[in-house]
A and B are shown apart, each in its own frame.
Chain A
């Protein structure tokens, strides 16, 4: 069974500051890992995904995430926050032998001017 844990339901940063959103996974098989962003009353947009190629994955809008097997982590980072980054972020996991995508509880990112 797979699961993800997102530490911190709310994260607040100042514009221009580093963004760090935490995600730890649990999987009995090599996982696929994803980060999605959701704006109010909208669907989910894929930021990036890890599928066993490079452990440092670069996504859209300047986001990146690093797969660390030893720490079972896949934290999302962005060097400099922008006001438009304020949204809900979800980490998700699926296995190589399954097509189910399991979500974490989400982290709401607030960006202050």
Chain B
């Protein structure tokens, strides 16, 4: 089945530094990748949608300059949290799909970011 690898699974960083999270589709080409943020005991909030080779589309209220998304290839998308602050601490999850909704979505295992 389709597999998405997300790395790192956990990261702790100091305030003011930047952190990069990678999301790779291992056995399929992901035309679209998504980044979600999940607060404790809450649902997943869609942050942005990225298509290979084009700029990401951010959801309302998500700062695109803080959360930089790059989708350089059909198998790799990265989320960089710039100038991280403690309030950016959260669980970030990526997902990928080879097409529109009927093809289904495969999720990464998530990244627990803690900013100290």
Contacts and interface: CB of A to CB of B under 8 A. Distances in A.
Contact of A100 (B42, B49, B93, B107): B49
A96 B100 CA distance: 7
Interface of A: 32, 34, 36, 41-46, 49, 51-52, 90, 94-106, 108
Contacts of A102: 46
Contacts of B112: 41
Contacts of A101: 34, 46, 95, 101, 105
A42 B105 contact: no
Chain B, interface SS category: strand
B43 A105 contact: yes
B78 interface: no
Contacts of B46: 100-103
Interface of B: 4, 6, 32, 34, 36, 41-44, 46, 49, 91, 93, 95, 97, 99-102, 104-110, 112
A43 B100 contact: no
A34 B97 CA distance: 14
Nearest to A97: B100
Given A90-B43, A100-B49, A101-B46, A42 B101 contact: no
A103 B45 CA distance: 8
Contacts of B32: 99
